[in-house]
Amino acid sequence: MATHSEIRDFWEHRLEQDWTESGVGYRALGRPFNTWMYRVREEVFLREAGRVGAGGASVLDVGSGTGFYVRQWQRLGAGDITGCDVTDAAVARLRQRFPDHRFVRQDAADLDAFDQDSFSALSCMDVLFHITDDERYAGAVAEFARVLRPGGALVISENFLRRPEQRGEHQVNRTLEEITGILGKAGFDLVRRVPMLVLMNAQVDAPTPWRKAWGGVLRAATVTPATGWLAGAALYPLERRLVRMCRESPTTELLVCRLRD
């Protein structure tokens, strides 16, 4: 398994080369498909994060990447937005793209640039499953609790497996039980968990035959930018319905928590 330094170097190089939706998303499916995928993510995030009382909130976005969720907090009327990322490549570009907001290079497991009780809301989207070290994972959640004010909202995306965890060099898909246990130990109460995507992403929590078959379909459908755009456009209206209808998903889900008073 890659070390923390190797993982940071991996993301530094990746975002330096591709600071787009595909750079931070499912890269194998190409940018056109990822653009459609992120339209679904946007809708789910705005719906769920909008319920936490974002208007005027002081927000920290951890792992800001391209600033996609920074922009969503702007749309929700957050009063003060701070972002951080583990890579210099992202931070430098974020400062140019959002000159009215503060961005610093910080690792999710070590937010020492921020004081205790600094924020009323915190988002960490598609980041935690890239923390392959279990101690650092728990440390990141503890840091979220430290910098959030009592009663503050935590919005994260994760894979929440109901099957055994899956470990790779740059990603660990942990179980729902393990993740919720870590959150509870850090002082968070779960509010709601909803699908972020259903079909437009790797089926990490599905039976192996379906996971492999659907993964093959997606890769074949996105072999060129043109076919990737068409595949995304075709799946988009169905995906919008599925994320509202389904209670759970075989892929990424969004979780909202509150820090106990």
Q: Count the neighbouring beta carbons within 10 Å of the beta carbon of residue 216.
A: 10
Alpha helices, DSSP H only, in 50-102? 68-75, 88-97
> What is the spatial distance between Cα 144 and Cα 121, in angstroms, rounded to a whole number?
10
The structure tokens listed for 77 are 């009327």
> What is the spatial distance between Cα 63 and Cα 57, in angstroms, rounded to a whole number?
19
Mean of pLDDT over the chain: 91
Fold of 4-259: Rossmann fold (3.40.50)
> What is the spatial distance between Cα 77 and Cα 93, in angstroms, rounded to a whole number?
22
| Distance, C-alpha 217 to centroid of its chain | 24
Looking at residue 216, what DSSP letter applies? H
> What are 158-192's pLDDT values in tens digits?
999 999 999 988 899 999 999 999 999 999 999 99
Q: What are phi and psi of 223, to 5 degrees?
A: -65, -25
* 257, burial (CB in 10 Å: exposed 0-12, middle 13-18, buried 19+): buried
> What is the spatial distance between Cα 260 and Cα 63, in angstroms, rounded to a whole number?
24
Strands (DSSP E) contained in the chain are 58-62, 80-85, 102-105, 119-124, 148-158, 166-167, 172-173, 188-195, 253-259
> What is the spatial distance between Cα 110 and Cα 158, in angstroms, rounded to a whole number?
20
> What is the spatial distance between Cα 256 and Cα 234, in angstroms, rounded to a whole number?
29
Per-residue pLDDT, 104 = 96
Q: pLDDT tens per residue, the chain (261 residues)?
A: 556 666 666 655 666 665 556 555 567 888 899 999 999 999 999 999 999 887 778 999 999 999 999 999 999 999 899 999 998 888 999 999 999 999 999 999 999 999 999 999 999 999 999 999 999 999 999 999 999 999 999 999 999 999 999 998 889 999 999 999 999 999 999 999 999 999 999 999 999 999 999 999 999 999 999 999 999 999 999 999 999 999 999 999 999 999 998
For the chain, domain boundaries:
4-259
| Distance, C-alpha 154 to centroid of its chain | 12
Per-residue pLDDT, 40 = 97
Per-residue pLDDT, 28 = 80
Q: Are 74 and 64 in contact (CB under 8 A)?
A: no
> What is the spatial distance between Cα 187 and Cα 123, in angstroms, rounded to a whole number?
16
Helix (H, G, I), strand (E, B) or coil at 206: coil
